[in-house]
Amino acid sequence: MNVLIFLIPVALALGLLGLYGLFWSLKSGQYEDLEGAAYRILQDDDIEKK
């Protein structure tokens, strides 16, 4: 039971860190263009044109 004194704050800290990461990604625009990545993978930019 003494380990709960350590694990509960660690779990809360990790949860807050994940929540901070979510809000940071929303603020920095990570979810703005969801369809662009799907179309970008289909482009053949890495193939040399002859």
**Integer CA distances (angstroms), 50 to 8, 23, 47, in order:** 61, 46, 9
Which helix (H) or strand (E) is 19 found in, with range?
helix 4-27
**Integer CA distances (angstroms), 36 to 5, 16, 41, in order:** 46, 30, 9
Which structure tokens are listed for 44? 């053949």
CA distance 13 to 20: 10
| pTM of the predicted protein model | 0.64
pLDDT tens-place string over residues 2-50: 999 999 999 999 999 999 999 999 999 988 888 887 888 888 776 676 6
Q: Would you list the domain boundaries of the chain?
A: 10-40
The dihedrals phi and psi of 32, each to the nearest 5 degrees, come to -75, -45
